[in-house]
Amino acid sequence: MIRATLTFPHGFLWGTATASHQVEGENHNNDWSDWEQQSGRIVQGHRSGKACDWWGGRWQEDLDRAAQGGQNTHRLSVEWSRIEPNSAVWDDSAIDFYRQVLRGAIDRGLTPLVTLHHFTSPRWIADQGGWAAPDIAARFERYVRKVVAALKDLADYWVTINEPNVYAFSGYYLGTFPPGEKSLGRAFQVMENMVAAHAAAYQAIHELQPNARVGVAHHYRGVQPLHPSNPLDRMVARFRFRALNEFFPQALHQGSFAVLGRTFRFPKATRTQDFFGLNYYTVEHCAFDLLRPLALFMRDLYPLGSDLSGTGFLANVPDGLTQAMQWAKRFGLPILITENGVEDAADQMRPRYLALHLHRLWHAVNVGVPVRGYYHWSLVDNFEWERGWTQRFGLWELILETQERRKRRSADFFAEVCRSNSLASEMVERFAPEVMERLFPTRSPGTPGIIQGFE
């Protein structure tokens, strides 16, 4: 086998990501806490409960784990419903809590990346129309101004909205997120409002903190026609790709987006990103299906033989990350991989998923894709939205009944990557030997024994 060390650039950001509702626990004032109380909304009737008990103080030990694992950054979110529990009513104790968390991260050598909206909204926002309300952008800007004014001395990197495409389509078209609507038109309306809200937040943040770096965490879903020779499969795959992946980044890049014969225009949103946040998990195949009119005649699936995660939720397709990074490169911004990971309670697939995706990441950086950092989802098992506790994405296992954390082997693997700023064949041989030959094939005569990347 080739013995190789694939080195990343000096100063590369290595971290994990979390989100407030998923880890804090005991949040009873947002739309998701209400959603959890409704029968049939969450798999097996699960509820977030204490989650990872960060609100109770266990963020400290989890950030200790991140720092001890060689990480130099952490992505987290602040909870709008705690900071503004009622319209224009501010809870200074919640702001103080987030100041403690950010200071704690910095003291541990972790540069904070703060997300301002990660799927949850205050109950009063939901009661007044949620993200479909015409004045939501102004309300979001008011909240953002309050947060940034209070935290700007502790954070320079901001994500305004996490995965707006997932939020809009899940909540307003698929009905799996609150408010549970099933209207494509409403989903696009919410996307419009989120573009306007981001643009207003971007301007507000730079007014308050001129040197801030502001972006969006875009969810990229790889979509390919099931049968490339079939024009109907190509048609539905192209629509799904454009509607899901292109709306938001195009709106923030060029101020417009055309779909279904309509052009959406956002002049105030043009060039309102300082970095491109990229969330990537998998690639799916899309087929035309005449029997699915409510799904716009689309059927999505993974091909037989795919390397699937524990519940079949994700397929391990590292080439999709390469495609995602090349796609993001078109927008001419520094790129942060703001989420990447796999649900795997047994921690059998995660090591090879991690090895394969980090190898693609290293290759992209070496051929000029401007990726500046990588955040693995997630630091510890957390509440996975409508899928409850059935999916375990953590490098650390959470025993929900006792709040005990147990380290998975993947945590040790990722720690070696972070500490050395590299992916080495020796690591892959120990943690994911099944992909060793794929990543470091038996060398032919005359091949150098050591391959160094960036120093």
Q: What b/e string do you get for 134-145 counting C-beta neighbours within 10 Å, with b at 16 or more?
A: eebbebbbebbb
Tokens of residue 301, six digits: 């699936």
Question: Distance between CA atoms of 247 and 256, rounded to whole angstroms?
Answer: 8
26-44 pLDDT per residue, tens: 999 999 999 999 999 999 9
Q: Is the dihedral of CA 12, 409, 339, 363 positive or negative?
A: positive
Please name which of 15, 116, 129, 122 lies closest in space to residue 72, comparing C-alpha atoms: 15
CA distances from 306 to 154, 184, 341, 352 (A): 43, 30, 16, 14
341-374 pLDDT per residue, tens: 999 999 999 999 999 999 999 999 999 999 999 9
Can you give the pTM of this predicted structure? 0.96
Pair 110, 67: CB distance under 8 Å: yes
Please count the CA atoms within 13 angstroms of the CA of 368 that sit on its side-chain side.
2
Tokens of residue 36, six digits: 């959890």
Residue 108 clears pLDDT 50, i.e. is over it: yes
Q: What b/e string do you get for 66-104 counting C-beta neighbours within 10 Å, with b at 16 or more?
A: bbebbbbbbbbbbbbbbbbbeeeeeeeebbebbeebbeb
- Mean pLDDT (the chain) is 95
Phi/psi zone of residue 154: left (φ > 0), alpha (ψ -120 to 50 degrees), beta?
alpha
| Beta bridge pairs of residue 16 | 74, 376
| Beta bridge pairs of residue 122 | 30
Question: Distance between CA atoms of 382 and 397, rounded to whole angstroms?
Answer: 9
Question: Distance between CA atoms of 286 and 226, rounded to whole angstroms?
Answer: 5
Residue 454 clears pLDDT 70, i.e. is over it: no
Q: Outline where DSSP puts E strands in 308-370.
A: 335-339
Question: Distance between CA atoms of 316 and 360, rounded to whole angstroms?
Answer: 13
When pLDDT is averaged across residues 148-169 and rounded to a whole number, the result is: 98
DSSP per-residue letters across 362-424 = HHHHHTT--EEEEEES-SB----GGGTTS----SEEEETTTTEEEE-HHHHHHHHHHHHTEEE
Question: Distance between CA atoms of 115 and 94, rounded to whole angstroms?
Answer: 15
Burial of 447 (0-12, 13-18, 19+ CB in 10 A): exposed
132-144 pLDDT per residue, tens: 999 999 999 999 9
208-261 pLDDT per residue, tens: 999 999 999 999 999 999 999 999 999 999 999 999 999 999 999 999 999 888
Confidence band, pLDDT 50/70/90 cuts, at residue 296: confident
Residue 409 clears pLDDT 60, i.e. is over it: yes
Please name which of 129, 88, 194 lies closest in space to residue 202, comparing C-alpha atoms: 194
Delimit the domains of the chain by residue range: 5-224+244-284+299-439
* Class in CATH terms, 5-224+244-284+299-439: alpha beta
Residue 261: per-residue pLDDT: 83
Residue 270: per-residue pLDDT: 98
Residue 445: per-residue pLDDT: 46
Residue 415: per-residue pLDDT: 99
